[in-house]
Structure 1
Amino acid sequence: MIRLEHINLVVPDIAQALAFYQAAFPHWRTRGGGDQVWYGTPRSWIHFGDDNNYITLNSAGQGENRDLTGSSTGLAHFAFEVDNLDAMITRLSDAGFEVAKQGADEPFRKNVYFIDPAGFEVEFVEYLSDLPEQRNMYS
Structure 2
Amino acid sequence: MLQLEHINLVVRDIPTTLAFYQAAFPHWFVRDEGQGEWYGKSRNWLHFGDEYQYLALSDHGEGENRELSGHQVGLAHFAFVTNNLDAMKARLSQAGYQIAKGGSIDAYRKNVYYLDPAGFEVEFVEYLSDNPKERNLSS
TM-score calculated relative to the size of structure 1: 0.99
Match of 1:19 in 2: 19
Q: What is the 5 A alignment of 1:62-73?
A: 62-73=62-73
CA displacement, residues 80-104 of structure 1 (integer Å, 9 cap, x when unaligned): 0000000000000110100001111
Match of 1:87 in 2: 87
Structure 1 CA distance, aligned partners of 2:86 and 2:50?
Answer: 22
Give the counterpart letter for 1:131 in structure 2.
N
C-alpha RMSD of matched pairs (Å): 0.5
Q: What is the 5 A alignment of 1:25-104?
A: 25-104=25-104
CA displacement, residues 97-122 of structure 1 (integer Å, 9 cap, x when unaligned): 00001111111000000000000000
Structure 2 unmatched runs, 5+: none
Among the aligned pairs, what percent are the same residue?
62
Match of 1:7 in 2: 7
Matched pairs, number:
139
Structure 2 CA distance, aligned partners of 1:138 and 1:48?
Answer: 32
Match of 1:136 in 2: 136
Structure 2 CA distance, aligned partners of 1:137 and 1:102?
Answer: 18
Runs of 4+ in 1 over 3 A off after TM superposition: none
